[in-house]
Structure 1
Amino acid sequence: MSATAGGGSTQTDGPDAGPAARLGFTSGMVVQELGWDNDADDELRVAIEDRIDADMVDGDYGNVVDAVVLWWRDEDGDLVDGLVDALTDLVGGGAIWLLTPKVGRPSAVDPADIAEAAPIAGLSQTTTASVSKDWSATRLIAPKTIA
């Protein structure tokens, strides 16, 4: 049984909720993780997997996913290409959470680069949040397709 708002969930959704809850992850979601490396925040990764009650899937998953967690550093290449690649398995209306080192940290991505790359990749930037000591998250969504 999945937890619903106001239901019997032991997970907190209020202002003191952990970063995985604040990012909107819920039990049963399929979340794809791309760009993982040794510098990724393991506490955040565990929090997301605890929140969705499953392991995150990788780029070889081969099916649609509800959300993508994309770890991205300044030296990772062209951000537009990375975002377009992250859209491959994303369900219409799903979100990409772009995780970048915070400004001032090694490999930080300039927020202007994100603002420039998102629309070129067909995405809209909606939210930015601090999710750990070293990482920020930017929520990017693709417009829902109209059939």
Structure 2
Amino acid sequence: MNQTASQHAEEFGFELGDIIQEWLWDDDVDDSIRAQIEELTGEDLVDEDYDSAVDGVIIWWRDGDDEDELSDTIVDAYTVLGDDGPLWVLTPKPGRRGAASSSTVQSAAKTAGMNAATPLTVNSDWNGIRLRAFGKGR
């Protein structure tokens, strides 16, 4: 199990019993991050087809994907997110295949009506950035 992912699972802001929705999964995602979230919440991650309210969201994003698609995904994810729960965009770190610039994520977040708020080093290959609706938190 990746120790960094283990240390940071709680820093996502997820809690026991939370339902976490995962968007844009692909075979390059880090399964240790997913496993730690599932262990922390005690629940399996649900995919983007899940149509009930969720307590948190992770979006896997890579450079080369359409920025407008990221904005649309953020909007779609936020509509099922209850009570301003944690919404994270996870991107490969600089130097890794698919690394996205923080300005791309920030621009997409702004277009979606969100602020890019809290950065997090998730592990040696992935960074995360927490998004919040304008006017919510810091």
Same fold (TM over 0.5): yes
Residue of structure 1 in register with 2:86 after alignment: 95
Structure 2 gap segments, 5+ residues each: 1-5
% of aligned pairs identical?
42
Structure 1 gap segments, 5+ residues each: 1-16
Any residues of structure 2 matched to 1:56-71 within 5 Å, and which? 56-71=45-60
Q: Select 2:122's aligned residue among 131, 134, 138.
A: 131
Structure 1 vs Structure 2 CA RMSD: 1.7
* Structure showing greater Rg: 1
SS at 2:55 equivalent: strand
Bigger fraction of residues in helix: 2
Q: Select 1:44's aligned residue among 24, 29, 33.
A: 33
CA contact (8 A) 1:118 1:125 kept: yes
Residue of structure 1 in register with 2:43 after alignment: 54
CA contact (8 A) 2:18 2:41 kept: yes
Q: Select 1:104's aligned residue among 95, 99, 103.
A: 95
- Please, what TM-score do these two structures have when normalized by structure 2? 0.86
C-alpha displacement at 1:33, in angstroms?
Answer: 0.6
Hey, which bits of structure 1, 4+ residues long, moved more than 4 A? none
Residue of structure 2 in register with 1:77 after alignment: 66
Alignment length, in residue pairs? 129
Cα distance in 2 for residues equivalent to 1:81 and 1:59: 13
C-alpha displacement at 1:143, in angstroms?
Answer: 4.7
Q: Does 1:28 align with 2:17?
A: yes
C-alpha displacement at 1:92, in angstroms?
Answer: 3.6
